[in-house]
Every structure is written in structure tokens, then in C-alpha cells.
């Protein structure tokens, strides 16, 4: 019986490299790799060896005959992908680990950030060089979006952090947490102590709607909401109020889906996860019964991935409905018709069309000015653009304008407006990078200015010697966790090419000098010993409550736990 890849696939291609028959696609060398929602196993070629399941860092690979409940659909999804993307599983050219001439000695490399892109970068450097790595993070804990971005009910996705544990504990790596570059230490000082500096700082800001009332209380960016339920130390415990019965989430990507799911999931189910204690308590008191996912475009342009949406449809006790609208109905019918004509009569709505995924969901008239009906439900409302937030002292309503898609795909307003009554509006329309002191910034792209990972001067196009970028700060907020692996490899290749060409600057002071500088500037710096203490404290608290961990939610709590041990 063949294996199948399921919802929690992280796309880092660990499974591809161990498959003896090359039946997992797309591979990092294939054009679809950068855009696919997940990877797929061809059941006709799979020899049932299980190597991919052993290698998967997020436990996403299972024998097809052992799939149960909502996961059974993934057997069909894996098979159908190869129907639409025929592949002869021919082997590509072999690749070999990079190395540097021995006479160069050990490079000293700083990596700013400790999230997935930073982890993959450090992993690549430690595997291919004798470099000494310094990792720096503004928070007193590691993990970045793995800790503070992945939804708490996706515990298997968080297991990829275990693959980085050996990296963080490598004797060639030093860790300085609770240190902010640009405030505690400048880029120039960091560069003076290292041959190279790699920035893996993500995209910390949210895109704004740019409408009146956006700054009213009750209007939140998705980063604040996600940080709230994930115990991000800079987000206050009282940042979210759940006293209203309706919440509107502007956007329909995976983050928007996560927010809707967390708002309506039975809190008893969340109690077995690492959700923040304050968020769990608030969800137990919550009056929210309806979440509206609002999208300017139609169902064919929905931004969620298939795996996430299929999971949303299976949420116990929650009805998912689509607001009935002529263009929406037509888009769904057309998508289903195309799928059936390609695959033959009786075939279910295919996985490649976002609109076809809505087949079978109730199409209902919707009145956002009325009170939500009984039960809990998620309303998918397409072709609606936010116009204004209003309320007496806090958000009470959102005015939206009906839109239509022009022949060239542009969104056009129709002038027809209506009002959705809501006590909380969360904008989830994408992230954006923020400028870093001492580094050039591309305002248009919202990223650090770079070429193939080398930070460049926008005026001249020349690389800044020894300065690199990786992850969302490099390519913008696109791609899941695993996409950072290939991104990190590209940046590390650029760094090693520069090292081999002897164009990296030679640092003056030694490693100990930098450690003394950090401790002088930031006496409460957190190192590996304190980090281990925090991890033990959280796991012990979790064990007492039958949870994987209970997160410490503030900087003082984290620092105190580190000092106690």
C-alpha cells in the first residue's frame, strides 16, 4: 500500500532526498516547487518503504490504508496531483555538499533571528563549513513564527522545531537572545565582529486596509491576534476582546483560516495544545458564534491552501457556508464543470481549483446587519471590499462595497454598499517587512534590498560586503516553513561563493570580545543555558496539565524562569 502526504506537510523536501524511487514531487529542482501547497507521493511508483515517513519532520506522511476521518481525502489528492502533473520520476543531476578551502580557516558568521529561515541557514552552514555561528534574537526565546505564528492546534507542524534543536545545541553555535540589533548592538558593530551577517528577521508588520476607522479599538492586525493566542511576549494578554457574537476577518489566506478556526474551536480541544493560557480563558468566555471571511475577489482567487481549507470544512460543530451571489455561484459551477470534463464523469471537485473546493457547501442568503443565527458557523463572503469601520468608541460595524471581477482580472467596485455588524474586525491581508537600522530597504517590495541573498546598495546595485538576507525579509511574505530551506541554501551558496573568492571582510575583534560587548549593553541577555531552563519550565508546567507545554507569556516571566535554573 502506497504512502500519502497529508495536511501538515511543511514543504521542506526532507522526504524527497530519502525516496529511493524519486516518486515525491515537486522536487526543489522542479518549477512547481515554489508554488505548490504541499508535496505529493505517486501511488503508482511508491514501493511502500516508509523512508519518507521516517524523514518527515512534521509527521505528515502515512500509509494510505491508515488514513482516517478527514485525512482520507489526501489519498485521492496525492493520486490526482499526478493525474494533472504526469512525471516519469527520472533522476536529476546529483548535487554535492559545498565546502571551502581549508586555508580560509573558520568563518565567524552571525545570524539575526531564530525562526525557520534562521534555523535552516545555521543548519546549512554547520553542515557544509567549520564556521562558528552567533545567533541573535530580540525575544528571550527561539522559534520565531514556529513558536508565535503556527496555530496551537497544529502541534505536528511545530515538530519541525525539534530538527533545529540539534542546531541550537551545536558546540560551534553561541546564542544571544533578548538582544535587538539596531538598539542594543548596531549592524556596524555586528559586522565588525564577524566575517558575515545573515538577517533572518521575517516580515513583522501587517499591511493596512487604508480605510476610515481602521485604528478604532476592536480593529486588529492578524499579527496581534495570532501573537495573542500564541503567547508572543510583546502582545498584551488583554489585546483581544471576544464579547461580540460576530467577528469579521478581512482576507482568506491560511492565517485568516487559522483565526476563524481558533475562534470557533471547542476550547476543550484547544486545552490539549500549547495555546496561551490567557487566550484559552478568553475563548472559554467567548460569545463569538459567527466568523465572516471577507474577500475582495471571487472564490477562484481564494488564498488558502487546499489542505487548510479541507480541514476547516471538518471542524466539529461548525457549519461552513458560502454567501449566495450570482458570480460566486457561477464560479463554483464553472470550476466543477471544468474538473469533471478533465477527469471524467463522477469525479469529485478537483484539488487544483479553489472554487471547486466550495462544491457541496450551502449557498445561503446573508444579512450582516442581523444578529447571527443559532449555532456556530463560518461565512465565506466573496466580492466584498471593506470601506469603513465605525462605532462609538470601538468597532461596531464594517461597511463593505460589492465588487466584481473585470475581464482582465481587476477588481472593480460596483457602488453597492451594505453593513456588517461586528464587534471585532481582524485584517489578514498580508505581512510586510520593516526597515532595519543600517540596512537598505526596498519600500516597494517591503523587503531588504538584495540580489540572490546578497544585500545591495539600491543606488549602485553593489553588494554590501559580508551582509546577507534570508526568508521573508528576502523574498517577501510568501511560502510556508519549508520554503525557507531552499531560500537558505541560495543565500548560503552566495556567502560561500564570496568566502571562496576572498571578498568577505576580515573581522578585527574576537568572538569573546563580541560576547563582552553584548553583556555590557544587555546584562539580561539570554544564552543557551537560560533557554534550556525556560524550555524545562514550560514543559514541566505542561506535563502537570496534560499539555505539550504551557508557554510563559511575558518577557519578565521568561527571564525569571531562565534565572531560576
Query: HEC states along 468-484?
Result: EECCHHHHCCCCCCCHH
Q: Please say whether the beta carbons of 554 and 235 come within 8 A.
A: no
- Confidence at 344, pLDDT banded by 50, 70, 90: very low
Same fold flag, 3-84 and 102-204+433-526: no
Res 497 pLDDT > 80: yes
Higher-scoring residue by pLDDT: 94, 266 = 266
Residue 204 exposed, middle or buried by CB count within 10 Å (0-12, 13-18, 19+)? middle
Q: How far apart are CA 400 and CA 64, in angstroms?
A: 44
CATH of domain 209-430: 3.50.50.60
pLDDT at 349 over 70: no
Continuous segment of H or E residues that includes residue 81: helix 73-84
* pLDDT given for residue 508 in this prediction: 85
Cell triple for residue 199?
538577517
> Would you state the pLDDT for residue 32?
83
Distance, CA of 297 to CA of 142 (rounded, Å): 37
Residue-wise pLDDT tens digits, 384-417: 999 999 999 999 999 999 999 998 889 999 999 9
Question: Residue 108 in contact with residue 378, Cβ under 8 Å?
Answer: no
Helix (H) or strand (E) holding 364: strand 363-364
In the chain, % of residues over pLDDT 70: 97
Question: Cα(367)–Cα(278) distance, rounded to whole angstroms?
Answer: 33
Report yes or no: 361 and 322 within 8 Å, Cβ to Cβ: yes
Secondary structure percentages of the chain, helix, strand, coil, to 5: 35, 20, 45
The whole-number pLDDT of residue 350 equals 43
pLDDT for residue 120 is more than 90: yes
CATH 3.20.20.60 fits 3-84, yes or no: no
More confident site: 278 or 34: 278
The Cα 506–Cα 466 span in angstroms is: 9
Q: Find the mean pLDDT for residues 422-441.
A: 93
Query: Has residue 347 got a pLDDT over 80?
Result: no
Average the pLDDT over 512-538 and give the result: 96
Separation between Cα atoms, residue 266 and residue 241, nearest integer Å: 17
| C-alpha cell of residue 221 | 492586525
Which position has the grid cell 463554483?
Answer: 332
pLDDT at 39: 94
Q: Which of 187, 167, 59, 52 is nearest to 116 (CA)?
A: 167
Count of helix runs (H) and strand runs (E) in the chain = 17, 25
Q: How far apart are CA 411 and CA 402, in angstroms?
A: 10
Dig out the grid coordinates for 157 from the structure. Answer: 507542524
Whether residue 148 contacts residue 125, with contact meaning beta carbons closer than 8 Å, is answered with no
CB 67 within 8 A of CB 74: yes
| pLDDT at residue 69 in the model | 84
Where do the domains of the chain lie?
3-84, 102-204+433-526, 209-430
Using the predicted structure, report yes or no on whether residue 102 has a pLDDT greater than 80.
no
- Top CATH class, 102-204+433-526: alpha beta
Residue 351: its pLDDT value, please? 42
Residue 429 to residue 225: CA distance in whole angstroms: 13
Helical (H) or strand (E) element with 128? helix 116-128
Q: What is the pTM of this model?
A: 0.92
d(CA 558, CA 178): 10
Report percent pLDDT > 90 for the chain.
76
**338 vs 325, higher pLDDT:** 325
Average pLDDT value for the chain: 92
Considering only CA atoms, which of 283, 357, 374 is closest in space to residue 313?
357
Contact 275, 323 (CB under 8 A): no
pLDDT confidence of residue 348: 40
- On the question of a cis peptide bond just before residue 26, with omega within 30 degrees of 0, the verdict is yes
The pLDDT confidence band at residue 163, using thresholds 50, 70 and 90, is confident
Supply the pLDDT for residue 338: 77
pLDDT at 228: 98
79-93 average pLDDT score: 89
pLDDT at res. 341: 64
Average pLDDT over residues 293-308: 93
Average pLDDT for 167-173: 94
At residue 134 the predicted structure's pLDDT band, cuts being 50, 70 and 90, is very high
Amino acid at each position: 500500500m502506497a504512502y500519502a502526504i497529508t495536511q501538515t506537510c511543511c514543504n521542506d523536501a526532507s522526504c524527497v532526498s530519502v525516496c529511493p524511487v524519486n516518486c515525491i514531487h515537486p522536487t526543489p529542482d522542479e518549477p512547481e516547487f515554489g508554488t505548490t501547497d504541499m508535496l505529493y507521493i505517486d501511488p503508482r511508483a511508491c514501493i511502500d518503504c516508509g523512508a519518507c515517513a521516517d524523514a518527515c519532520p512534521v509527521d505528515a506522511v502515512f500509509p494510505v490504508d491508515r488514513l482516517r476521518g478527514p485525512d482520507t481525502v489526501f489519498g485521492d489528492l496525492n493520486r490526482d496531483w499526478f493525474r494533472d502533473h504526469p512525471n516519469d520520476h527520472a533522476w536529476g543531476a546529483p548535487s554535492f555538499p559545498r565546502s571551502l578551502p581549508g586555508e580560509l580557516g573558520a568563518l565567524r558568521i552571525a545570524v539575526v533571528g531564530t525562526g525557520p529561515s534562521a534555523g535552516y541557514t545555521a543548519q546549512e552552514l554547520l553542515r557544509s563549513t567549520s564556521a562558528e555561528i552567533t545567533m541573535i534574537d530580540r525575544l528571550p526565546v527561539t522559534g520565531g513564527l514556529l513558536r508565535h505564528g503556527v496555530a496551537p492546534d497544529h502541534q505536528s507542524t511545530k515538530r519541525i522545531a525539534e530538527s533545529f534543536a540539534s542546531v541550537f545545541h551545536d558546540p560551534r553555535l553561541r546564542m544571544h537572545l533578548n538582544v535587538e540589533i539596531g538598539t542594543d548592538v548596531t549592524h556596524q558593530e555586528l559586522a565588525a565582529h564577524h566575517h558575515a551577517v545573515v538577517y533572518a528577521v521575517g516580515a513583522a508588520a501587517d499591511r493596512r486596509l487604508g480605510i476610515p476607522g481602521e485604528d478604532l479599538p476592536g480593529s486588529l492586525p492578524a499579527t496581534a491576534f495570532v501573537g495573542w493566542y500564541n503567547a508572543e511576549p510583546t502582545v498584551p494578554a488583554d489585546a483581544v476582546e471576544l464579547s461580540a457574537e460576530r467577528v469579521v476577518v478581512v482576507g482568506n489566506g491560511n492565517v485568516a483560516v487559522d483565526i476563524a478556526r481558533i475562534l470557533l474551536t471547542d476550547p476543550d480541544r484547544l486545552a490539549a495544545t500549547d495555546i496561551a493560557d490567557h487566550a484559552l480563558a478568553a475563548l472559554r468566555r467567548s460569545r463569538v458564534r459567527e466568523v465572516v471571511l471577507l474577500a475582495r475577489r471571487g472564490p477562484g482567487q481564494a488564498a488558502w491552501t487546499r489542505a487548510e481549507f479541507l480541514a476547516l470544512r471538518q471542524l466539529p460543530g461548525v457549519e461552513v457556508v458560502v454567501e449566495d451571489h450570482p458570480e460566486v455561484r457561477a464560479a463554483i459551477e464553472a470550476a466543477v464543470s471544468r474538473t469533471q470534463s478533465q477527469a471524467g464523469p463522477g469525479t469529485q471537485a478537483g484539488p487544483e481549483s479553489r472554487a471547486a473546493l466550495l462544491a457541496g457547501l450551502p449557498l445561503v442568503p446573508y444579512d450582516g446587519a442581523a444578529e447571527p443565527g443559532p449555532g456556530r458557523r463560518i461565512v465565506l463572503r466573496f466580492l466584498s471590499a471593506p470601506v469603513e469601520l465605525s462605532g462609538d468608541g470601538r468597532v461596531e460595524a464594517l461597511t463593505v462595497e460589492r465588487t466584481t471581477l473585470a475581464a482582465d482580472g481587476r477588481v472593480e467596485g460596483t457602488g453597492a454598499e451594505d453593513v456588517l455588524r461586528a464587534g471585532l474586525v481582524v485584517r489578514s491581508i498580508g505581512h510586510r517587512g520593516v526597515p532595519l537600522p543600517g540596512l537598505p530597504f526596498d519600500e516597494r517590495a517591503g523587503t531588504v534590498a538584495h540580489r540572490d541573498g546578497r544585500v545591495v546598495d539600491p543606488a549602485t546595485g553593489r553588494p554590501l560586503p559580508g551582509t546577507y538576507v534570508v526568508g521573508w525579509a528576502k523574498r517577501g511574505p510568501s511560502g510556508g516553513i519549508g520554503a525557507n530551506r531552499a531560500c537558505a541554501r541560495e543565500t548560503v551558496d552566495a556567502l560561500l561563493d564570496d568566502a571562496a573568492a576572498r571578498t568577505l571582510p576580515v573581522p578585527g575583534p574576537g568572538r569573546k570580545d563580541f560576547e563582552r560587548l553584548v553583556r555590557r549593553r544587555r546584562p539580561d541577555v539570554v544564552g543557551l543555558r537560560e533557554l534550556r531552563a525556560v524550555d524545562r519550565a514550560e514543559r514541566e508546567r505542561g506535563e502537570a496539565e496534560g499539555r505539550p507545554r504551557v508557554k510563559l507569556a511575558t518577557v519578565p516571566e521568561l527571564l525569571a524562569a531562565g534565572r531560576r535554573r
